[in-house]
Structure 1
């Protein structure tokens, strides 16, 4: 079947025309009447009958003889193609404009009811309702406007696609300024675009929603930029794999709106790749949405927010949070999110006024089949925010934060602090994991499949103004493993948090490092679950009025005060052991003698550390653990042999901790100098 072409030959709104030619209102009515388009051969509404100039490029809907009534809903299967107008030059800021200032009530700009429509290269502004209302499926808003000419050669209309050369070598992903490849949908009274009532499988590409045509100045819609409600399988694509040669060419800029940038509400399987929420098209200028960059709410399930670079999103400079996930939203993946920072552009100061990411959802389900987690923050950069990098609060449950940079620039070497904590966990949050066993995206050596590296940091949580991690209120079951807290990405250089590395108040039953009954650190066992907690201004780990917090198998050293500081933990706090002697043989084997006092006939876990410093509270190298049982008086003497010091000449002082059967770990013992023998 051949497509039918309808031609707009006037910028008036008089509902006047002949045959398949007339003004836009007439043409839409004509296309709806004939309804000859199919999904494979949609009809085309073109604007080749008009030529645009800077002073004459606008259809004032409701401003002509047709009266102050909205345009008819598009029920035909058709492409509305603004690139076909004469004089179009997006690079110069000249687009075919639909302006609704003459309409009243809640009149919308375009309403799509037939499905399989394509809306491209229009500026839709000043309508009292929504810029576009979508009540149908399989529509495209924007899209790839590079087509093919009669000789099957790529066709780049003047002023359309603007690219910059890739760096050589291509060490980072280029993100560049370019005009909108889709539509500008801004300054409308309600939302920029509202997708609702079972409108599924719609695609957004290359639109500026809430900004002017430059993409760097706010022209916000009165509500949210895009709302997806009760509609599934919708997509916002900045680029699609495997389009690695021109990443971000078709990114949506959803910024400057008076509500949120994007809202996903009671909608499943939404995919959001390579977009800007709150940042301008230049990846530098703050054009914040007044509320959140992105809000995922209701019972939305299976939202995928970002994937491998270059498919991550930027959610920065917003009035509240970069991303908020709340209610019972389930199975949400937030991957390669730049929250509070620009993508690969650390000089931009674009922090969110709230958190980089706020999680309060207690939705169930498992995002990955083998995982116990429903909400996963993975390989993300969450720095420069006015509150926390990540806040997990309310009744949030089953959340993992892994392989992410929080409080530092992308290079992992320079601080870009969140003004409160790197990660704050509060309320009644439960089953939270910080860290993982995957190798870090931040650097480090590659290793063959099936082989584990000796140590790769899964989180870098450093440089924040307050604590690296804060755990408070009624939080339970937090696990912190495989993270650098207070160092740079090398794990050796200072990048301390402004207060404590980890701060726990009133929250019990948390695990820092190895589980109480897990693999024994030291003795050649790789430290895949340890943390490095160093160079923080106050304590490495401070625990206030809480019990059952195990601190095992970590590297804790050179913090401003103590390595482990227990405050107000009462009789449940086991006292640190007293070391009597330590000997290191020429082969690095260490023997330690000491005593401890605890509950009668109770078994404790004693962990021994080596450190180059005599300062109390340091334990840089975990040499291993052993179990010690007290007698009827609660006393025990112990002798630990076979411990291996991996740096026998650098670590001349030995200290130890004790962990009780309920999981409470003591402070460090006073260190003693090790005697070298043999």
Structure 2
């Protein structure tokens, strides 16, 4: 059978292609009018058909269809295919799909190119309606925007396009304004997507994406390469900004890896949140580095929050943090009085995507004149890693107040161990910045601030007051941990009347510190403003810095100290655990001004001992012990109290001095333990003690001798008889003495000759506990008392 001439050969192939494309579309799109662009020329003869359909004709046909239209491509020959309009293309109205993936030969990169070099002042595609899709086109060299979306349109999708580069994605062929621009109420536009191939290359233009006014809302910018080539490894700068927006509720990136934008290599900012913009969420992006996350590919400025409030940069959810590194001048700038209530959480600022390698980069974060912003937070996922930057965090300007920097790693890697120091100060306050907080008293609020090439925190001479520095781990900085006035250690002054940064708040003086179990007890005093209250923060360190003041590696906790009318106050603090033996402290007044670190004080270890360690006594005797208290390591010349416990019954333990004062770490006292003999006993000396009752035997014998002598006297001379004691009386006394001896001997001795355990101090071996106490610190030892 011979086919009609119009349905065989090349035409038949093109017709079959269109049929298959339409058949494979979803039902809701398949119901739309479908046309196929089959030529690169720009002619418009009023008809889009199989013999000739230019892009201009296809747009017109789709606009005229009731439900919009599907514009496919079936241009003969190998691509890429370049279309050069001679004038502005018709606006794209409602429900139009322009899909470059339909062109035969498409293999992931666009092969349909719109070249605007002949058009004059025009946009590449001007979208004025809703529910449109523009996919897989190369759009370059237009005087206006590559794609313009306006006039209250909604739900438009721009995906898989190369806008501002050539068809290879490697060379700039920029449009005169933005790659994609939205204004005049455009809402809920999606630029890119999280699926493979959905992202656009938006490079080589003035702006990659422009959200031109506050009437634009709900834009999602996902998975794009903005300012780079199609490989994401070389810069093709947008001359100004990657994304410039004044709109509201914009989402840039997301927690899924596919939603990540690479926004790098642009002439000014990667992202610029302009005045009036609000509610922007920026998550999971690489800003200033390549698509691999390993090399710097910097914008001049990473993220610019310019008079824009209520934005979130990062987040606590896994994958929400951005990598903002490698930018030439500044990674993040929050600027202006209206730039408030912004949240930066979970970001890597200054490192590669692993958080372990520092990249060449400018300053980390500058907060200028902005107030009430949160950098970090107390949740683990809120932590920013801010390391390896030319400078750390700078807070500047008289309206830069109530900003909170909490829970961050500043100058270390993502694990918090390896040094990745920032140049200069980790954090600096300048130009009247006041009433900000670094750290805090809540669990998780403290920052690590370490390894800076200058100081940990600098409060410059021109800074304000009330800048709280609480609960942070500050260590291994080249100079002071906290520097007020940029002049080294600021000496304390009487009553602390001076002014300056943080009012040059006096630091505490550590008086004594001694180990107590696995913890420590520390005494501090403060000379400052009279009748005032202060928060004293204590720290332990592995070593003291060269200046002898600080730093504060491990926060121990804080206590409140009050001064009297003379400006003096003291406090004793006890901590259950401690690491490191070098102690320091800071003082913060009721207005929030924190001092520099105190001088270091070494923690003393102490002990109490007895000499001898054992004594033996009989009930009723006393034993003496020489008690010594000694302290080693630090200076501990305090007054300690002594006590004894676990003495045996009916015994007392006393000291010749209940309190002793250590001198050069040494003091001693005498402890006496007095035992008691059995109370109420009729025993004179027990048999078993080697002293039988000879006195009673002697009395009995003397009485018997007396009776014999009497009898001889009476018989030899009767004249003696009236004056002599009657013999019966002597005999009775002797019998009583012998009976008493028998009774007492039985009462005093058991069957084996030992005394019965009634009354007095029982025999046995006793372990005495000797305690030396200072404040709540205690040291104990033991001594043995044997009673037999």
Give TM-score scaled by structure 2 length.
0.66
Q: What is the CA-CA distance between 1:45 and the residue it aligns to?
A: 4.3
Q: Is 1:554 the counterpart of 2:483 in the alignment?
A: no
The aligned counterpart of 1:126 is none
Cα deviation, 1:311-345, whole Å, max 9, x if unaligned, reads 12111100001101021111111111211112333
Q: Equivalents in 2 of 1:559, 1:617: separation in Å? A: 10
**Equivalent residue, structure 2, for 1:492:** 417
Q: Is the 8 A contact 2:112 2:138 kept in 1?
A: no
Alignment-derived partner of residue 433 in structure 2:
507
Measured in 2, the distance between the counterparts of 1:358 and 1:462 equals 19
* Residue 24 (structure 1) aligned with residue 59 (structure 2): no
Alignment check: 8 A CA contact 1:238 1:248 kept = no
Which residue is 2:242 aligned to?
A: 293
1:579 paired to 2:510: yes
Q: Tell me what 2:20 maps to.
A: none
SS of equivalent residue, structure 1 residue 28: helix
Asked if 1:133 corresponds to 2:157, the answer is: no
Which residue matches 1:15?
A: 44
Partner residue, 2:111:
95
| Contact kept in structure 2, 1:511 and 1:550, CA below 8 Å | yes
Distance 1:322 1:476 in 2: 26
Which whole-Å CA distance do the structure 2 matches of 1:318 and 1:588 have between them? 55
Inter-partner Cα distance in structure 2 for 1:598 and 1:389: 40
- 2:95 and 2:570 mapped to 1: Cα distance? 84
Secondary structure of the 1:556 match is: strand
Matched with 1:617 is: 550
Unaligned runs of 5+ in 2: 1-29, 316-320, 491-497, 607-778, 780-788
Kept in 2, the 8 Å contact 1:27–1:45? The answer is no
Query: In the aligned structure 2, how far is the partner of 1:303 from the partner of 1:381?
Result: 19
**What does 1:381-396 align with in structure 2 at a 5 Å threshold?**
381-395=323-337, 396=339
Deviation, 1:619, is: 1.0
1:538 to 448, 454, 460: 454
Match of 1:437 in 2: 378
- The residue aligned with 1:61 is 85
Instruction: Indicate the structure (1 or 2) with the bigger Cα radius of gyration.
Output: 2
Q: Which residue of 2 aligns with 1:443?
A: none
Q: Which residue of 1 aligns with 2:352?
A: 409
Whether 1:203 and 2:132 are equivalent positions in the alignment is no
Tell me how far apart the structure 1 counterparts of residues 360 and 284 of structure 2 sit (CA, whole Å). 18
Tell me by how many angstroms 1:230 deviates.
2.2
CA contact (8 A) 1:20 1:30 kept: no
- Correspondence for 2:577: 645
Alignment of 1:129-528 (within 5 A): 129-142=122-135, 182-240=136-194, 247-266=195-214, 267-297=216-246, 300-310=247-257, 311-347=259-295, 349-353=296-300, 355-363=301-309, 373-378=310-315, 379-395=321-337, 396-419=339-362, 421-426=363-368, 428-440=369-381, 458-466=383-391, 468-474=392-398, 475-505=400-430, 506-514=432-440, 518-519=441-442, 527-528=443-444
Q: Equivalents in 1 of 2:484, 2:63: separation in Å?
A: 78
* 1:529 maps onto 2:529 in alignment: no
Is the 1:189–1:222 Cα contact (8 Å) retained in structure 2? yes
Q: Is the 8 A contact 2:89 2:125 kept in 1?
A: no
Q: How big is the alpha-carbon RMSD for the aligned residues of Structure 1 and Structure 2? A: 2.6
The secondary structure found in structure 1 opposite 2:403 is strand
Deviation at 1:261, TM superposition (A): 3.9
Shift of residue 10, structure 1, vs aligned partner: 4.5
- The 3 A distance-change label for structure 1 pair 10 and 255 is closer
Deviation at 1:231, TM superposition (A): 2.9
Equivalent residue for 2:630?
none
Name the counterpart of 1:589: 519
Number of aligned residue pairs: give it.
550
1:606/1:29 CA distance change after superposition, 3 Å: closer
CA contact (8 A) 1:562 1:617 kept: yes
Q: For the residues of structure 1 that align with 2:158 and 2:63, how far apart are their CA atoms?
A: 27
Structure 2 vs 1, CA of residues 60 and 309 (structure 1 numbering), >3 Å: closer, same or farther? Answer: closer
Corresponding residue SS for 1:256: coil
2:666 corresponds to: none
Distance 2:219 2:116 in 1: 30
Contact 1:29 1:72 in 2 (8 A): no
In 2, the alpha carbon distance for the partners of 1:224 and 1:27 equals: 22
Change beyond 3 A, Cα 1:88–1:94: farther
2:589 is equivalent to residue 564 of structure 1: no
Q: Deviation digits for residues 177-203 of structure 1, max 9, x if unmatched?
A: xxxxx1111111111111111121111
Q: Distance in 1 between matches of 2:541 and 2:94?
A: 75
Change (3 A) 1:131 1:631: same
Structure 2 counterpart of 1:114: none
The aligned residue for residue 587 of structure 2 is 658
Render the CA deviation track for 1:572-630: whole Å, top value 9, x for unaligned.
22211111211012x22211123210111111111111111022321111111111111
Alpha-carbon offset, residue 256 of structure 1: 1.0
Aligned 8 A contact 2:151 2:186 in 1? no
Give the secondary structure class of the aligned counterpart of 2:241.
Answer: coil
> Could you report, residue by residue, the CA deviation over 1:82-117 in whole angstroms, capped at 9, with x for unpaired residues?
5555x54457x883444454444x2xxxxxxxxxxx
Equivalent-residue separation in structure 2 for 1:26 and 1:249 (angstroms): 23
Cα gap change, 1:316 to 1:83, in 2 (>3 Å): closer
Answer yes or no: is the 8 Å Cα contact 1:604–1:661 preserved in 2. yes
Say which SS state the counterpart of residue 423 (structure 1) adopts.
Answer: strand
CA drift at 1:51: 1.1
C-alpha contact 1:12 1:23 (8 A) present in aligned 2: no
**Structure 2 CA distance for partners of 1:476 and 1:188, relative to 1, 3 Å:** same
Partner residue in 2 for 1:168: none
Q: Specify whether residues 103 and 605 from structure 1 end up closer, same or farther in structure 2 by C-alpha distance, changes over 3 A only.
A: closer
Closer, same or farther: CA 53–294 of 1 in aligned 2, 3 Å? same
1:61-80 equivalence runs, <5 A = 61-62=85-86, 70-73=88-91, 78-80=96-98
User: What is the rounded CA distance, in whole Å, between the counterparts of 2:251 and 2:90 in structure 1?
Assistant: 34
Q: What is the 5 A alignment of 1:599-614?
A: 599-614=529-544
Query: Is the Cα–Cα contact under 8 Å of residues 31 and 76 in structure 1 kept in the other structure?
Result: no
Distance in 2 of aligned mates of 1:499 and 1:30: 58
